[in-house]
Amino acid sequence: MKILLTSLIIFVPIFISGCSGSREIGSEIIVEKSSSTPNWVLTPVRDEGDFIFVTGDITKAKDRSFGMNQAYADGVRKLMNTMQNDVKTQSSLALRGANLSEDDIGRFSEFAVAWISDTYKIAGVQNPESYWEKVEIKTNTGVTYTYNCYSLLSISKQNYNKALEGAFENMRKKAQEQNNKRAEKTAQKLIDELKSKQQ
């Protein structure tokens, strides 16, 4: 019995020591979180009826404050991309349905997309939640730390549609300037459809 206890006393510290030093170079573990991991972290864009939510993120940031700012900027970029894709798809389909040439379709749809690119024209963007993780990375000389940062952005469907309406209004004006009646009429139809959704 004495021999067995001695064996255990010797074996256990060696086992624990072996575990603590067994991490591979470059391995990562999360050592701190701002909260429990929210579900929205894993969903880049989601439509929930009255609101659209977008998740901005950045990994391996050296500084947490910088990381959070970059995560917010990434969220804005994703929101703009979502709007631009929506505008591009809707305007292209509508213009093609009006039997415009492919050159006209490309040109007038780009007028709408260009309006969305001016982010200061997009109203009502909110930042209801943020989340971060502190990550410990094993190195040759010890450990280093970085941050994974996430920022949740939201915009009401009403404000989202107003942004699209502004884009189609820009397309309408360009068509009017170029005396393209079919493109102007198509843009006005898109505007009217969006207005009807807001009533």
> What are the residue boundaries of the structural domains of the chain, listed by start?
24-197
Contacts of residues 174-181 at CB distance under 8 Å and 24 or more positions apart, as own/partner, are 174/108, 174/111, 175/108, 180/100, 180/104, 180/108
Amino acid at 173: K
- Assigned token pair, 50: 């009255």
Q: How many CB atoms lie within 10 A of CB 71?
A: 26
Q: What pLDDT is recorded for position 21?
A: 57
List, in sequence order, every residue forming a beta bridge with 129; answer none if it has no partner. 152
Q: What is the mean pLDDT of residues 180-187?
A: 96
pLDDT digits (tens, 9 = 90+) for 52-90: 999 999 999 999 999 999 999 999 999 999 999 999 999
CA 58 vs CA 15, 76, 85, 150, 154: distances in Å: 37, 13, 22, 7, 18
Predicted pLDDT of residue 114: 92
Kindly tell me if the per-residue pLDDT of 94 is higher than 90.
Answer: yes
Torsion angle of alpha carbons 112, 117, 118, 124, nearest 10°? 90
The pLDDT mean for the chain works out to 88
| Residue 199, pLDDT score | 66
pLDDT above 50 (res 14): no
